[in-house]
Structure 1
């Protein structure tokens, strides 16, 4: 059993005792501290238990104790005389009826307590089931994200293999600039079909309001080739270059800058990578 499950079980046990007013003072104080920092699910559990206990408490009426009945009968027998024997004897059935009423009340209390136990058991089961469903949903979401990531990697590798199988492939190496001297990258270009892939390494993750932007440079004029984001700097990242305007021969160099989200018409941010094309 994990620490989380142990803590949850401990909370449930104290909660049941608390709503039934069956805790010792130190246990009651401990539960009230736990309740102050309880999660939303734990607070809902407490509210359901307290509601169930209150409903049962309101359904039980106070009943005279059996010892009182016994003492009353014995007193009448000890103090009885000829003049009041009739009264004493006639009163005994009434006391027996009260005793029968007490027995019925006792059975009602027992039945109510059994109902409370069943209700609390159902509350526990519902709480545990909701927790397990929530945990399973989180696992499923994580697995779906992993599957999606693996599918993207497979598609990128297949695209890379397709480009490498071409008869004419250009490789442009990109080196880190002052903003990120340890970074490097490659542009793999199929000149025949004008398809290209970008591979980058050691680029820092981008802030949520920023993007990396790839530029194709010809005659010192940059033209945007699209934006991309890096989420895991420790892994090599591949990106298909979608915006390839003009033939490969029109490119003199490639550069990567960090720009506001969505990119800019012209570079405005720091340059992270740059590489010159070597003419064959």
Structure 2
């Protein structure tokens, strides 16, 4: 009886691993040999497990089973088998020999049901994981698209502001030429003095260091007044709206200049002059 029980336990364990494709080559060959000599009850158990696994394959998305899935299944089966063995020992003197077959059938059915429940639970976990991953990916895509939309809106607003300056009737164009430190550079200031608005275009300015900024100066009554800082990065040609345009009219404004200053700008110019342009004939 002990040998028969040991054979049944091993058959059930190998059967569970076989339908899960979790056995190594030697275990698989051993089970296939046992299956060739299996009893009717054992074949019923094998068919039940195999059918359950095949049906689940069509109801959930296939996933690579975790590396420790086999060991967890074996542990659950061993615990269930131990409980069944305890029940068998308790009742062995109370039943007749004919009850052994009934007990085996109930044991096989219990293992099959437990196995099916475990497969369903794992399948639901995998499905939930995939669903959450899919939702997370879609949320990331939506957030990325919203960021792009915001950037496009900001760029459109900036261009509309620039266009409104360009379309104004009373605008002056101040050409800026490169100085000794950067003779190939040049720029333009498109200036609407009445509305205190201006656009700056610069070309061929060297890429500034990370601790530096270019600073635009309005020379008013022969004194420099800061009109803001900017960086060109690796752009050869760049447009900027001058946000800090100082109050000045054509009579008091002498020139525009660009210097290279410490990051964030300074109150008075300290660096080399890269571009300079006189207003009118001054």
Match of 1:61 in 2: 80
| Contact 1:56–1:112, Cα closer than 8 Å, also in 2 | no
Q: Structure 2 vs 1, CA of residues 180 and 154 (structure 1 numbering), >3 Å: closer, same or farther?
A: farther
Match of 1:102 in 2: 104
Residues 1:262 and 2:260 aligned together: no
Kindly report the root-mean-square deviation, in angstroms, between the aligned alpha carbons of the 2 structures: 4.4
Match of 2:225 in 1: 223
Match of 1:22 in 2: 22
Distance 2:24 2:201 in 1: 66
Distance 1:135 1:211 in 2: 39
| Secondary structure at 1:216 match in 2 | strand
| Contact 1:184–1:273, Cα closer than 8 Å, also in 2 | yes
> What is the number of equivalent residue pairs in this alignment?
220
Distance 1:166 1:47 in 2: 69
Residues 1:154 and 2:156 aligned together: yes
Residues 1:213 and 2:232 aligned together: no
Relative to the length of structure 2, the TM-score reads 0.58
Q: Structure 2 vs 1, CA of residues 127 and 169 (structure 1 numbering), >3 Å: closer, same or farther?
A: same
> For structure 2, which runs of at least 5 residues remain unmatched after alignment?
1-16, 26-62
Distance 2:227 2:267 in 1: 11
| Secondary structure at 2:198 match in 1 | strand
Match of 2:253 in 1: 251
CA deviation map 1:220-256 (0-9, x unaligned) = 6432112234467267433243332332443333233
Q: Structure 2 vs 1, CA of residues 141 and 192 (structure 1 numbering), >3 Å: closer, same or farther?
A: same
Distance 1:127 1:218 in 2: 66
| Contact 2:228–2:242, Cα closer than 8 Å, also in 1 | no
| Shift of residue 170, structure 1, vs aligned partner | 0.9
Relative to the length of structure 1, the TM-score reads 0.58
| Shift of residue 195, structure 1, vs aligned partner | 1.4
Match of 2:118 in 1: 116
| Secondary structure at 2:128 match in 1 | helix
